[in-house]
Homo-oligomer: A and B are copies of this chain.
Amino acid sequence: MNDIKNRLVALRHQMSKNDIAAYIIPGTDPHAGEYIPDYWKERDWISGFTGSAGTAAVTLDKAFVWVDSRYFIQADDQLKGTGFAAMKMGLPDTPDMLKWIAGELKVGDRVGVNPLLFSVNAYATMGKLFAAHGISFSSIDLIKDIWSDRPAIPSEKVFAFDVKYAGKSCSEKIALVRKSLSDTQTDMLVLNALDDIAWLFNIRGNDVDYNPVTTAYASVSFDKSVIYISSDKIDDNLKAYFRSNDVLVKDYLDIYKDLPNISTDTKVLIDGNKLNQSLFECIKTEVVNTLSPVAALKSIKNNVEIEGVRNAMIKDGVALTRFFIWLENNVDSGTLSEISISDKLYKFRAEQDLFYGESFSTIAGYADHGAIVHYKADDSSDANILPEGILLLDSGGQYLDGTTDITRTISFDTPTSQQTADFTLVLKGHIGIATAVFPIGTRGSQLDILARKALWDRGMNYGHGTGHGVGHFLNVHEGPQNIRMDENSTILQPGMIISNEPGLYRKGEYGIRTENLILVVEDQTTDFGEFLKFETLTLFPIDINLIDKALLTDKEILWLNEYHQMVYDKLSPYLNTSEKEWLSQKTKAI
């Protein structure tokens, strides 16, 4: 605690010295990452708050961390005695952070941020808001000189990702990016998003949790491609690999020397939602700010990637079959817990071919914990699992041939009529998406209601998106495609993989979510145009014990029975007799 207090004193000293009236410290990194390496955990270091989301703001006499409802308790706990207090977002009295800062400051005051930690677009939005209040806004890193025992930038080894899994070579991908540059009349692309870089160069790494990426920057122009990466991370083989693909290797921070010196007629393409402000400030030439062409290319999986995912789904389904058999056989012991079953599930996945790790931290939400959407059990919350009530289990694997993400909700005893009604309404939404047919040009937000209609009709809803894009042996959360209530101008195109995960949450009781991954495929071409549909990729039974058949239409029952038949047909060749028998019971027609 005293450590934190001293850090706050040191920061305020830096602030006065630099004429900064308020300093904002976010929980982000320079690479638009979901998982932040320790080196960039400036907000954790300055405040002591370790949640996955939350932003600190410090004035010369006040200090707060804005956190969402997931972290109200944790923030109170971690911030006690630090000089910081929690600002609980969503509560009626909690001010918006930027407005609060504007209210604390006076005209002419300066707000500072580390430009490494903000996207170009986020930085611009903040700048505009402060300008409207007559407050100036500056890029300044006040942490670097006071954080003495800072961890190192991650330097885990990088490996080349075999084209037999990637489907397209690095050279082919670079050629596609150059075509995008040509189409957009730009000359150079600058990349900071680690999954974009991993996809483009067909490399993978271990620098952050769950996402098999490596810390680097990159640029592609017509005459050269450069990866900016620490030389410690790449061995001679990888050097040869880059050379063979005409990729120049430079040191990680050399991009800060190169960008200011590009020729003055270079039009640079950036994705302002991802590129950090610090790199942006190095570009002195004309900039086109739009969706990264790498993100767009990466979102449409090629046939090798798709076949890989189909194969990964079989392995994931086999692992889940063995896990759920084990769970059923052991739940009566009363000794299982949310964490212990997550560990066990990991072991079953790890037995599968080409398994690399989890694609995110398993959410095992037993009973009322299931109603906490982003729940993650820790030592203090870890609930004992008894042979009663409802378990929500959301988990996924990284395999070299694909990334999986599946949620199943099961009941250990006879469910209540409210539970079966809730489960079945969520299932109706899941089937609504799974069976959707839509013309080329349709956006995810147009389909979202299909997942919610059965709930909305009864005055119910869920507070998260229906589906996120999924990478191929890459980030389990991948843009730009999704299915959400919010607008997103991205149209759904064949080859895109998205999750289909409607849910329903009853606080203090239980949570329900049924999630499969789905692939956009062609349906038919008629006089009225070209139509698309989804193919469900995930292979594991949906708990029929939780279904109220009377709430399903004939078509919905047909979908479920056909889905279960497919699950059985695809998984059973890899199962032993008793496993087959179990799966046959779980997939029997209703």
Contact: A446 with B448, CB < 8 Å?
A: yes
How many Å from the CB of A513 to the closest CB on chain B? Answer: 15
Complex Cα–Cα for A456 and B489 (A): 20
Q: 0/1 per residue, A374-401, Cβ < 8 Å to B?
A: 0000000000000000000000000000
Contact: B448 with A528, CB < 8 Å?
A: no
Complex Cα–Cα for A436 and B457 (A): 7
Residue in B437, B445, B459 whose CB lies within 8 Å of A531: B459
Q: 0/1 per residue, A443-473, Cβ < 8 Å to B?
A: 1011111100101110111000000000000
Residue in B132, B459, B528 whose CB lies within 8 Å of A461: B528
Q: Verify if A235 is at the interface (C-beta below 8 Å from B).
A: no
Contact: A439 with B457, CB < 8 Å?
A: no
Q: Verify if A241 is at the interface (C-beta below 8 Å from B).
A: no
Q: Verify if A413 is at the interface (C-beta below 8 Å from B).
A: no
Contact: A459 with B489, CB < 8 Å?
A: no
Q: Which residue of the partner chain B has the closest CB to A438?
A: B456
Chain B residues near A437 (CB, 8 Å)?
A: 456-457, 459
How many Å from the CB of A289 to the closest CB on chain B? Answer: 14
How many Å from the CB of A453 to the closest CB on chain B? Answer: 8
Number of copies of this protein chain within its complex: 2
Q: 0/1 per residue, A273-298, Cβ < 8 Å to B?
A: 00000000000000000000000000
Q: Verify if A523 is at the interface (C-beta below 8 Å from B).
A: yes
Complex Cα–Cα for A487 and B457 (A): 23
Chain B residues near A461 (CB, 8 Å)?
A: 439, 528-529
Interface centre among A132, A445, A453, A456 (most CB of B within 10 A): A456
Complex Cα–Cα for A253 and B9 (A): 63
Q: Verify if A416 is at the interface (C-beta below 8 Å from B).
A: no
Contact: B449 with A526, CB < 8 Å?
A: no
Chain B residues near A489 (CB, 8 Å)?
A: 487
Chain B residues near A447 (CB, 8 Å)?
A: 449
Chain B residues near A456 (CB, 8 Å)?
A: 436-439, 531
Chain B residues near A445 (CB, 8 Å)?
A: 445-446, 487
Chain B residues near A441 (CB, 8 Å)?
A: 485
Q: Verify if A524 is at the interface (C-beta below 8 Å from B).
A: yes
Complex Cα–Cα for A487 and B491 (A): 12
Contact: B446 with A485, CB < 8 Å?
A: yes
Chain B residues near A487 (CB, 8 Å)?
A: 443, 445, 487, 489
Chain B residues near A442 (CB, 8 Å)?
A: 485
> Which residues of A (473-523) have their CB < 8 Å from a CB of B?
485, 487, 489, 523
Contact: A446 with B443, CB < 8 Å?
A: no
Chain B residues near A460 (CB, 8 Å)?
A: 526, 528
How many Å from the CB of A413 to the closest CB on chain B? Answer: 25
Q: Which residue of the partner chain B has the closest CB to A432?
A: B453
Known A-B contacts A446-B445, A449-B446, A485-B446; A528 and B459 likewise in contact (beta carbons under 8 Å): yes
Instruction: Given A447-B449, A459-B526, output 6 extra A-B contacts at Cβ < 8 Å.
Output: A436-B456, A437-B459, A438-B456, A449-B450, A455-B528, A461-B528
Nearest 5 pairs between A and B by C-beta?
Answer: A459-B526, A461-B528, A460-B528, A437-B456, A487-B487
